[in-house]
Structure 1
Amino acid sequence: MSLSNDFAPTGTLRASINLGNPLLARRDTDSGEVCGVSVDLAGALARELDVPLELVVFDKAMQSVEAVTTGAADIGFFAIDPKRGEGIAFTPPYVLIEGAYLVRMDAPLHDNTEVDQPGHRVVVGQGSAYDLYLSRHLQQAEIVRAENSQRVVDDFLAGGQEVAAGVRQQLQADADRVGGVRLLPGRFMVIEQAMGLARSRPAHAATALTDFVERCKASGLVAQALTRHGIQGASVAPALTAS
């Protein structure tokens, strides 16, 4: 690729990494280093551009979005959402992830369709893909926002709300940790995880980033990264269909 100046005007590719979704990025408990599928993809892009890589790490998706939109970072890894798309040009998705609901063991809720009722309060991570999606789709239930996605279940238990929402795997891990809760069957949304850059960057850079993602899916790089990091419950997104 001969797009180094478009992608990395500072001479270093600054990749915004969101730790709010542990399926894609996390901090190693022993070394403290940030690792994951999104980090692997950022490294692969930096190698293609032949520039150094700098990870700009955040705890919340909304912070990661802001960094790319304002130019504090060059690229990022996001759940595709129309609101975010106002400032970010997304690639097609590289990974698909399920969003799920969690309730207390004795809750009368047994189906996702029962959540959107008067008096129900749904806890989500502030600015997360679930926050944005449910803000548009819930008509009767109230949304309660936790500081970040990692705090959703603990806040849900402490606050006495009726439902928690988030990444299925994160909720299941929390359920195993705290006990006394269960996931509702199925999913309420499929999250399309994509790469993106600011819409203020040249259009040909966005096209090149789309090409990069498609090649990473086709070559097996994304699948290998999921396996390497032991990620279950996420799948490689289908190849882009030519229009």
Structure 2
Amino acid sequence: MNKLSIMKFRRATIRTRAAAVVLATSAVLPAGLAFMSTSTPAFAQTQSASASQPAASTNPLNPSRTPMASVFAPHGTLRASINLGNPVLASLDPATGRPVGVSVDLATEFAKRLGVPLQLVAVKSAGLSVDNVNQDKADIGFFAVDPKRGEEIAFTKPYVLIEGFYLVRDASPITRNAQVDQTGVTVAVGKGSAYDLFLTRELQHATLVRIPTSPAVVQGFLDQHLDVAAGVKQQLQKDAGQTGGLRLLDQRFMVIRQAMGVPKARGDDAAAYLASFVEEMKASGFVKASLARHHIDGAAVAGEGD
């Protein structure tokens, strides 16, 4: 083989290897958009944002990945469990049908920090969201802090505080929270929700009636002729306004401390990394701005002592 032929062969080899790298990169950054199990608009934002960051990994196919990326996203994509049953955290955009809200914004920013694509695994209840993380269907999630959940999930400090309230019919004799825990009183709760777990521990005499999802609590309360509906203040107010003849009691029965969580099996370093991220998001005004952008009223950014 003469010198000219050798040079042509080397150039062709380089082009082939470059094409292989492009194909390999495309394989881990899928296109397309679907709700439950493929990429969301956050995915595109993650790619473009991380592309401009300095390399933090030795991975030649994705030099923008941070060292913690392999811990949080061992499959190459960060899977975030999103609970659509709590309107303070997330809901479906009526125009696009895609999840939006403060939890989606935080997941997007966290994937951006890691330098990986984001996949939203959206479900209709808190219980299913917990199951996603415990069953390795998601890498992180957004939950109300609770001791039972904390057996398997490492929680950050809360980023948002949400109030839990009782709702009754206008004609109900119940006017105070203390009147709820009485023999014969039936209370509708979303199955597996933070207030289900809390009231299971706290109520000694009233009977809990578990409705499959939190958004269905008021309808279940009406259909089954129950005495009280318990839930997130914003959801109850919305349902009461649409139905009529209903009122909220004057005092909250609990404060729901919403946090991010990661499986404890991912290790202490992962828990500390996520906790640091949440504190930064609160301190920088990111969480406050997100709540305002999504027009969320009645929820407060958690403080240091919360």
User: Which portions of structure 1, spanning 4 or more consecutive aligned residues, are displaced by more than 2 angstroms?
Assistant: none
Conservation of the 8 A alpha-carbon contact between 1:94 and 1:193: yes
Deviation of residue 202 (structure 1)?
A: 1.6
Gaps of 5+ in 1: none
TM-score of the superposed pair, with normalisation by structure 2: 0.78
Q: 2:259 is paired with a residue of what secondary structure?
A: strand
1:154 aligns with 2:219: yes
What residue number does 2:122 align with? 57
What residue number does 2:194 align with? 129
CA-to-partner distance for each residue in 1:57-92, whole Å, 9 max, x for gaps?
100111110111121100000000011111100000
Counterpart amino acid of 1:135? T
TM-score of the superposed pair, with normalisation by structure 1: 0.98
Q: 1:34 to 1:48 in 2, by over 3 A?
A: same
Counterpart amino acid of 1:203? D
What residue number does 1:90 align with? 155
Larger radius of gyration: 2
Count matched residues.
Answer: 241
The structure 1 residue matched to 2:98, chosen from 29, 33, 49, is 33
Conservation of the 8 A alpha-carbon contact between 1:96 and 1:190: yes
Deviation of residue 240 (structure 1)?
A: 5.7
2: CA distance between counterparts of 1:240 and 1:137? 23
Q: If each structure's strand is expressed as a fraction of its own residues, which one has the higher value?
A: 1
1: CA distance between counterparts of 2:281 and 2:178? 36
Q: If each structure's helix is expressed as a fraction of its own residues, which one has the higher value?
A: 2
Conservation of the 8 A alpha-carbon contact between 1:217 and 1:236: yes
Counterpart amino acid of 1:130? Y
CA-to-partner distance for each residue in 1:131-154, whole Å, 9 max, x for gaps?
100000000000001110011001
The structure 1 residue matched to 2:74, chosen from 3, 9, 18, is 9
RMSD: 0.9
User: Aligned ranges for residues 59-78 of structure 1 at < 5 Å?
Assistant: 59-78=124-143
CA-to-partner distance for each residue in 1:154-197, whole Å, 9 max, x for gaps?
11011111000000111011000000010000100000000001
What residue number does 1:109 align with? 174
Q: Percent identity?
A: 57
1:145 aligns with 2:210: yes
Which of the pair has the greater relative contact order for Cα pairs under 8 Å at 6+ separation?
1
Deviation of residue 2 (structure 1)?
A: 2.7
Gaps of 5+ in 2: 1-65
